[in-house]
A and B are shown apart, each in its own frame.
Chain A
């Protein structure tokens, strides 16, 4: 009687499924409620953005980078711009860098709010999602005022940013931060310390530090495993050297180190840190031009470089090969979600079907970023 014969069921989760955050597909082999394995199948959103880069030239590719990760498009903009600047050795004006940091950090707030909101929704609590989106809407309004777009910004240019801060925007942004910091505590009280929520997240999808590095997890997913690594802090790019902020890491307070709750909590605490950076950047922003002189027919010297920036989903690597013409020879984006999906199969073994949803949400994968 110790072994009961049961038949495995193959479940097809996705590509159209409410909780897969875009068009992802999992082939789940399940024994009742318990998963034997969930094999991710990606590529439903593949648009061959890297090939497009080879066809449209350096300036022309900027709007396309938005589509690599539409939830935090500022970072993809910034990654592409920084890679081109590194290739051509262009110095970005100080104010331009500040504008970039401000826009990017606002975008990080927006992205993390969406992430924690959808996470709560996937766990079954609907209210935090709308509260998070309410805050995100205000950020979208701010960014819309800054660059005219709410989702795919196309704000940055090679050598700086497209537009300076509009008059009065700085005060509005500071007022928003005044509003945001206490609201974020409310959010915490609403869901983060909820007993059921903690029970659902703690000890689920535990990733050890060694595994995280081995599978090349980045950003909040890596930090949740207890590794204090933030490109902004450790290999400072742009003007992040000027700011005083902490790098939150997972502490395993509610379960094992590196579980879904740690990943969630790291994101929550990063919201506070981003708000801190924003406050400093908004108060210290120098005057001056925002865009360096970059020829319209931009031809970086032949060569190659890799640029790593800390996007909302972590270390985003832009590998660009130039052959000296107006078109890049090869562009490759290494994204956080792609790596995070790689570990999914290993993580899913022996968990319940409901936990798969938790893991997807806690790794914060965005389908376009996986497929590009």
Chain B
């Protein structure tokens, strides 16, 4: 960034004696606008299209298919439509908070992109507290959502906002604790550092490093779904109960902001898990060309993230919603104790094998494959062979 600013000043676009701070500020604003408008927002839009298509396929519908090839530009059309719509602020609402809330939610969605490790060099800022920063800024959502729920002056919004606050704050704990095993094993909080500690092959991923990390990965994924208000934890906006939850009173662009943040958060959820457990951008060292290598790493990272995004869409298309008390008991009775034990277990593991255990990677990977095969078999069984007898023996 500094080199860029120096270059801009020396090139004389702003004149020879332009103040450094001003140029830096303009550059930062332009750069971040470019990143967010060029990467984050289109990505959220595209995810919305992908989600609607995937979901439609799951539900044996067609989905959006009119605007652009296969409806690919639907997200643009929707965005334009929402921007053009009237922005209604209810009379009874608290206008300041009401208007501020969507920006906070969007802020919580754009800030993590600063430490998003797309490849070995494509990262805005490789903070030495990267993962901590990530969890900290994503938790900003709760402020925005609670603000939206409160300021709407609508009981449904309020319940939605409170539910959301309870849910996000609760699930922060198991999510945060599930990051610890990886941090214990790598000794760093930097995103790039964590990725560099893993290898490109699955058995070198932290997902398969030892049993504790696998459990941590699963807990983190579920908690992240809960934090991102995704099915089966979409209680804050449960449309069959709370109309649209905290977003009930919003319209037009502000409404769009909430949903953009939700879809964008899918990517962030995927990115966190990919970084921590799935080896991030790690790719076999096939060429010495740095640019080609970076492109390959970028593709690897995105494929992994998009797979996780797809899984979360798949879950959304399959599962019903849990109730608030079940949600809370799942978090506090199961996830929090398990993740604490998990942390202790990892600590012991690291004490015994400070440099990791080569064999456990292979064993865990094999175990993972077995689990996957059993899962697929069960799916096939349910789809093909389940009959009315299932009613009488629901456990088969």
Interface residues of A, Cβ cutoff 8 Å to B: 9, 11-12, 17-19, 32-33, 120-127, 130-131, 134, 185-186, 188-194, 196-197, 199-200, 253, 265, 268-269, 272, 352-355, 357
Contacts and interface: CB of A to CB of B under 8 A. Distances in A.
Nearest to B233: A124
18 contacts: A33-B163, A122-B240, A123-B321, A124-B319, A126-B55, A127-B58, A127-B317, A127-B318, A131-B59, A186-B386, A189-B390, A192-B391, A193-B390, A194-B318, A199-B322, A268-B391, A272-B388, A354-B241
Interface in B356-396: 382-383, 386-388, 390-391, 394
A196 B319 contact: yes
Contacts of A352: 323-325
Contacts of A188: 386, 388, 390-391
Contacts of B155: 9, 11-12
Contact of A196 (B162, B232, B325): B232
Nearest to A129: B59
B73 to A, nearest CB: 24
Interface string B208-247: 0000000000000000000000011011001111010000
B59 A18 contact: no
B326 interface: yes
A189 B323 contact: no
A192 to B, nearest CB: 8
B320 A124 contact: yes
Contacts of A265: 391
Interface in B292-351: 316-326
A124 B318 contact: no
B61 interface: yes
Contact of B232 (A19, A122, A124, A192): A124
A286 B319 CA distance: 46
Interface of B: 55, 58-61, 155-156, 159, 162-163, 231-232, 234-235, 238-241, 243, 316-326, 382-383, 386-388, 390-391, 394
A353 B241 contact: yes
Q: Is the interface of B mostly helix, strand, loop or mixed?
A: helix
Contacts of A12: 155
B6 to A, nearest CB: 54
A120 B232 CA distance: 13
A18 B391 contact: no
Best-buried of A11, A126, A353 by chain B (most CB within 10 Å)? A126
B321 A124 contact: yes
A122 B240 CA distance: 5
A124 B55 CA distance: 14
B320 A194 contact: yes
Given A121-B240, A127-B59, A193 B320 contact: no
A193 B394 contact: yes
A185 B387 contact: yes
Contacts of B391: 188, 192, 265, 268-269
A230 to B, nearest CB: 19
Contacts of B60: 130-131, 134
Nearest to A199: B326
Contact of A191 (B235, B320, B325): B320
Nearest to B324: A33
Contacts of A186: 383, 386
Contact of A120 (B320, B325, B382): B320
Contacts of B243: 17-18
A196 to B, nearest CB: 5
Contact of B319 (A194, A253, A269, A272): A194
A127 B155 CA distance: 29
Given A124-B232, A124-B238, A130 B324 contact: no
A352 B326 CA distance: 11
A196 B388 contact: no
Nearest to B387: A185
Nearest to A19: B240
B240 A357 contact: yes
B15 to A, nearest CB: 58
